[in-house]
Amino acid sequence: MTAQRDEDREKIVSAYRSGAQVLADKFDSIGVRVADIDRTLGFCQQERPNILELGCGNGRDAQELYRRAGSYLGLDISPDLVELARMKVPNARFEVADVMEYSFPLELDAVFAFASLIHLDQEEMEDVLIRIAAALKLGGVLMLSMKYGEYRRVVKEDDFGTRIFHLYTPELIENLASSNFETIWTSQKNLRGQDWFEIILRKTNSV
């Protein structure tokens, strides 16, 4: 990892620690993403799927995912947000983890990343997509929500501190994932002045 990435990661962790409760309230105000969960699991081949959530935050969506899962694991880089998630969904399993360093469990049916992989640059994203493919069963699904725009690094300074994001397009994600996934659904929308897209990918190749 480059020095720039190390510095970015430290700033992101600091922001999500110092502003954990305020961010959690913001997440909750948006509401549980039931429609996205329904749609993604509708493509899933298992009635009670093994689910991994990357960037579980304060457990907002974990409530719904855990209810539907055969097994559920939520990961987040912020210890403070993970503690809030454990209070919100006490029976679910959560771990403090950096997705760039964590060994994902195998035999997964579905992976969700709601606005969490937006912090990764293109090289990191490609690496994570390969590792997700290795963790998923053949036919397993991956749901991503990403900030939309021509690829670039964005530094955001606000009351939470400094956070670093990367803008992506669906086409770039498809290109990075093309060796292991096919796209089965995508959409674009504007939320609070920011363009976003959602994309659901299905694993098509054994890794």
CATH number of this structure's domain 3-203, picked from the four choices 3.20.20.370, 3.40.50.150, 3.40.50.11890, 3.40.50.300: 3.40.50.150
Q: pLDDT at position 31, please? A: 86
Q: What percent of the chain has pLDDT over 70?
A: 97
Candidates 126, 124, 145, 115; CA nearest to 16 is 115
Tokens of 180: 């292991």
Q: What is the pLDDT of residues 51-101, one digit of tens each?
A: 999 999 999 999 999 999 999 999 999 999 999 999 999 999 999 999 999
Instruction: Please state the pTM of the whole predicted model.
Output: 0.94
CA distance 133 to 142: 9
Q: What is the pLDDT of residues 95-122, one digit of tens each?
A: 999 999 999 999 999 999 999 999 999 9
Instruction: Indicate the residue type of 31.
Output: G
Residue 92 in contact with residue 72, Cβ under 8 Å? Answer: yes
Average per-residue pLDDT in the chain?
92
CA distance 117 to 123: 12
Query: Could you tell me the residue ranges of all domains in the chain?
Result: 3-203
Residue 94 in contact with residue 85, Cβ under 8 Å? Answer: yes
Tokens of 22: 């305020």
Q: What is the pLDDT of residues 6-62, one digit of tens each?
A: 888 888 778 777 667 777 787 778 888 999 999 999 999 889 999 999 999 999 999
